[in-house]
Amino acid sequence: MRAALPLLLIVAAAPLAGCGGAHDSATRNEEQAAAAEQRAPDPEKVMAERWAQIFADPKAAVAAANDFGYKVPGYLPAGKDFEAKGAVTLPEKPKAITVDSGFTASGAAADKLDTLVFTFDVRHKGKVDRESAEAYRYPVRIVLGFLGRFQVGPGDTILGALRRRESASATLHGVPVKVDAQPIAGGDAKDRHITVTFTRIGASAPANQTQGK
């Protein structure tokens, strides 16, 4: 856990896909094809491919989550489906605000994800000073950092909702994204249970049926 905390400040890292040696035309992504054809890449295709890569590589998604201390053991069989789960509590030393966060990746196939879910329980205990208020930034930092490893971002609507701890939904290059923020029963008036759900295009998971486009 101690080694994971500094990584919360990292928003982007090296690309997880699209690098390496020569590729034939059938396996090139848009950036590789554009370079081979000496033309500018189509920005929409590039972003759509980057988002698709998140769901197409469960190992990379698990590795990205573990960079933030979730301690996910792997993408493992769960009944008829597959699931990866982990959790982390921030900050490491208790302060006036504590964030209990969970990560779940699930799907019907071993080589593909259908949904990615982050949860954040933001709880208040005692007087919130400037230092402890930094905990409000954990949901933003984690979501930004996770997506940054795939060279994508959450967009203004989702980012704003996370900063304000409010509900919102958006479709990012075809991918439905939903933020659901609810009070925590029996807690402080400012306590929030925040769920951030990303759903693969074409997935048959329930989340795909309920999120707006």
pTM of the model: 0.81
What is the average pLDDT score of the chain?
Answer: 84
Lowest-confidence segment of 114-128, 129-143, 160-174, 192-206 by average pLDDT: 192-206
Report pLDDT digits (tens) over 65-88.
999 999 999 999 999 999 999 999
pLDDT of residue 212: 36
pLDDT of residue 204: 63
If pLDDT is split at 50, 70 and 90, which confidence band does 11 have? Answer: very low
Which is it for the CA torsion 59, 61, 67, 69, positive or negative? negative
Distance from C-alpha of 152 to C-alpha of 48, rounded to nearest angstrom: 9
pLDDT of residue 190: 94
Give the residue, 168 or 14, on which the prediction is more confident: 168
* Domain spans in the chain, listed from the N-terminal domain onward: 44-210
Tell me the average pLDDT across 109-117. 97
Asked if residue 145 has pLDDT above 90, the reply is yes
If pLDDT is split at 50, 70 and 90, which confidence band does 39 have? Answer: low
pLDDT of residue 24: 55
